[in-house]
Structure 1
Amino acid sequence: MSRTTGFPKADAENDFLRARRKQVRAALAAWLRREPDDVNVMLPFDEVVEALGRKGERRLGLRVIRLESIVGSVDRTRDFDRWFRPTSSRVRARWERLAAAHRRGEPIPPIEVYRVGELHFVSDGHHRVSVACALGLKEIEAYVTEVETVLDADGIRYRGDLIVKDYHRIFAERVPLIPEARADMKLSDPAQYAELGEAVEAWGFRLMQDEGQFLDRETVANRWYAEEYLPAVRLLRDADLIGDMTDTEAYLAMASKRYRLMRTHRWDDEVIETLLTKD
C-alpha cells in the first residue's frame, strides 16, 4: 500500500501524482536510452490476435489474475502506458474516485479481460487496473474470456515482437508442420520465414511432378521436413557448416545457393565460405 495520511481523498490525489511522475520519468528514460518507441506502450489486443491467428474463444468466468500478467488493452492504449500508469491528466477525476474508494476500504470491482496464453488484455476496467498497480496490489478479480490462437503467445513483450509472430503465422499457414517440427524453425530475420515458405512450396512442386500426383500442404510440409530438412541439417552439422547460424538459417543459406553449386559442380573453399554466410 502507498503512503497514507488518513484522508482518502488527499491520499488518492497524491497517488495519482506519483503514478503520473513515474510514467513521465519512464518515458524520459526510454528517450535518453534511445529505446524503441514501443517499449512503454501497452500491447493492442487486436494486433496480437491477428498476428497469432484466432481459432476461437470461451468464457472462463470470474478468476483472480496477477496484475503483472496484464500487458495490453482492447481499445485504451493511449490513456495508460505499458504498466498502466496514466499518460495524461484526462483520466484523473475517475482515477482518484476509485483510489479514494479503495483507501476507504471498498474492494475494487472485477474487471473484464481477454486471455491469450498467459497474457491478459483489458476490455473493461483500465482505471481499476491502474489504481491497483499504483497502490501496490499484486492480484485483481477479473471476468476472463480465453482466446485460442494458432501460434502461442510466448516471447511477446513489446509491439515489435508481433512482426515475428505475424511472419511466423503466415509461414505456419503456408507450411502446416506438426508442432515439434514447427518449433524447430528458428530464424533471426522475420522476413526469412517468407523465403523459407517459398523454398518449401518449390520443393513440394518438384515432388508432385516427380510422383505425378497432387499432395496437400500438410503432406508436403511434413515430407519436406523429414525427407529434405532433417537430412540436410544433419549433413551441414557433420560438415561443420552451421557456424553461428541456427539450423534453419544454415539450411536456408544452402537452399538459396543450391543452384550455384549445381551449375559449378564445385565443392571448394570459396563455395563453403558462401554457405557459412547468411547473406
Structure 2
Amino acid sequence: MFSNVKFLQKLTKRHPGKPQQFEQVRQAENASETIDRGAADVPVNNISGTVGRYRDFDGEFRSRNRGGEARFQHILAAMRSGTSLPPVSLYQIKDDYFILDGHHRVAAARALGRDTINARIVELLPAKKSLENQLYLEKITFRDNAGLLKSIQLTELDQYHHLELQIKQHQTWLAEEKLIDVSYKQAAQDWYQTIYLPLVTLISRSGLVDNFPGRTTDDLYLYISTHQWNSSKPRQYGIGIDKLIPRDMEAFRKKMAELKKHEYPDMKQDITFFILLNVDGRQERRIIDKLMQLEPVRELHSVHGSIDFIVKVVLSRDLLSSDAELISRFTHGNVRMLKGVISTQTLIPGLSRYKDDPCP
C-alpha cells in the first residue's frame, strides 16, 4: 500500500500572463461527461482559465479592453462595500476552474485578496487514461458516494475501499448504538467528524508527513488506521502507539470525543539512551567538544575502567519510527564517524526510577 509513486506532470501549465484555454484543456483530458455540482465556494487560486475569452483577459482576469476597466472598478467597489453579487459560472476539470461568466467578479476577488468566491459549477470528468486521472476519479467517486464536502487525497490506486470499509463498520456500530437505521452517508458524516478528522489532526500536528516525500496526510491516516484497526499482522513500527490510538476504531472515537482539540495528545515521544565510547586519548578533548555541540546530547561523563565516556542522548521520535533504527542512525551518523572514536555500545534503559518519584 505504501510503495513509492512518481506522479505524472500536469498536461497543461498555467501562465501568469494569460489564462488557460478551456477547450485546449478539455481536449487534452478528453473531458465530455458533465455533472452539475450546484453552488459552492471555490478557491480563487484554482480559477485558472476562461471559456472562449482567453484573448480578452490577462492571467488575473483583468480586461485587455479599455471599456472593461470601468466595469471592473464598479464591481470592485461593490465587493468592498459588501454588496451581494450573483455567483460566477464555472466549468471544472479536475482541480482547475474556467470562467464561463463572471470574469470581472473573479478579478475583483483576486484584487481584494479573497480566498474564495461563490460559483455555480459544472464539472467535466476527464476520460483520458492516466494515473492522475484514475486517482482523481476514485477520489471524487468516494467523496460523492459518502456525501462529503471535501475530498480525501490518497496517492495510490484502489485504496479508497479501506475507507469505505471503515464507514460501513461505523455504520453498523451507530445502528446498534442508536437502535435506528443509519444510512451510509449519515455514517460517513459522523466518521469524518469523529474519527477521520481527530486522527488527521494528530498526524498534521506531528509533522510526520515531512518524513514521507510525495505523500499526503491522508495517506498516513490510511496507513495508520488500517494497520491499527483492520490488520492482524505484527506491527513493524515503533512501540507506544496503542496508548495513543486504541486498536478498536470506536474506542478511539470515544477517547477523542472526551477531549477538546487543544487537548489532543502528541504523536511524538522522547526516547532516552546511553552511548558507551572508547576513544583515542589524543582526541578526547576534540571529541567532547563535538559531542556537546549535538542538541540531543544531554550529558557526557568521563569514566575510569573499560570505557572512556558515557553519553546520555534524548531523541524525539514519532510513533511510526523504530527505536533501533533511530538510535542506529544517530550513533553512526553523529558519533561513530568522529575521528578518534574506536568503538561504541548503546544501552536503552528499561525500568527507570528517580529518587524523588513517588513509590508505585
**TM range, normalised to the smaller chain?**
0.3 to 0.5
Taking CA–CA contacts closer than 8 Å with sequence separation of 6 or more, which of the two structures ends up with the larger relative contact order?
A: 1
TM-score normalized with structure 1 length? 0.41
In terms of fraction of residues, the more strand-rich structure is: 2
Bigger share in helix: 1
Greater Rg over alpha carbons, structure: 2
